A and B are shown apart, each in its own frame.
Chain A
Amino acid sequence: ETGVTQSPTHLIKTRGQQVTLRCSSQSGHNTVSWYQQALGQGPQFIFQYYREEENGRGNFPPRFSGLQFPNYSSELNVNALELDDSALYLCASSPQTSWFQETQYFGPGTRLLVL
């Protein structure tokens, strides 16, 4: 069974640029969530996708957007990068049944640095 994978592992961007982060969910999982973890903080929920549609969103501005593909992989897009966007971005997947009860399995994260 393949776990959650994320790419790239590290990324450096400059303020104002756009970035796309990628996530492959664990086999058999069709729900994907994205989190932002700033240094020394707990993960902050960005949004969740279930069967290619967003079905939950945290307090993040519209410049944070996402996609989920038919194979349940997902992308997180961030436009107009700001210095405060520097963080570890975590992807998590969970299986279909009663997704709100299900354990989320996390990938290793993508560390984004905005200069």
Chain B
Amino acid sequence: AQSVAQPEDQVNVAEGNPLTVKCTYSVSGNPYLFWYVQYPNRGLQFLLKYITGDNLVKGSYGFEAEFNKSQTSFHLKKPSALVSDSALYFCAVRDRGAGNQFYFGTGTSLTVIP
């Protein structure tokens, strides 16, 4: 069973507009959720994570994400998109109930249009 899903392969947003990149998850225990960004020909860079506590998590470069337990979602958001935010975004979850595996979504390509 897929542990994390990113339903949108591609998201386009105008510069200055708010952006949302969606992620839903499925794990057997408490979720440990992460967002990473990947620029072309580069490794993954950490943006933010939810472990416990406040459902709204703030991270790098003005990004934030909201943990919603009832909807099993962890959507990435930013109030005002920049052209430099254009990249590939991955949601990930640590499933301690499944051999400590770390599952990544298939990625969402974000394009910010000037």
Task: Identify the A interface with B (CB < 8 A).
Answer: 4, 33, 35, 41-45, 48, 55-58, 90, 92, 100-101, 103-109
Contact = CB atoms under 8 A, between A and B. Distances in A.
Interface in B70-114: 90, 94, 96, 99-107
Contacts of B106: 41-42
Nearest to B103: A45
Contacts of B45: 106
Interface string B29-47: 0001010100000111110
Nearest to B88: A42
Contacts of A107: 43
24 contacts: A4-B43, A33-B102, A35-B104, A42-B104, A43-B44, A43-B90, A43-B104, A45-B102, A48-B100, A55-B100, A57-B99, A57-B101, A58-B101, A90-B44, A92-B44, A100-B32, A100-B94, A101-B32, A104-B102, A105-B46, A106-B43, A107-B43, A108-B43, A109-B43
Contacts, number: 55
Interface of B: 32, 34, 36, 42-46, 49, 51, 90, 94, 96, 99-107
B20 to A, nearest CB: 19
A10 to B, nearest CB: 11
Contacts of A108: 42-43
Given A56-B101, A58-B101, A101-B51, 9 more contacts: A4-B43, A45-B103, A56-B99, A56-B100, A92-B44, A104-B34, A106-B36, A106-B44, A107-B43
Nearest to A58: B101
A103 to B, nearest CB: 5
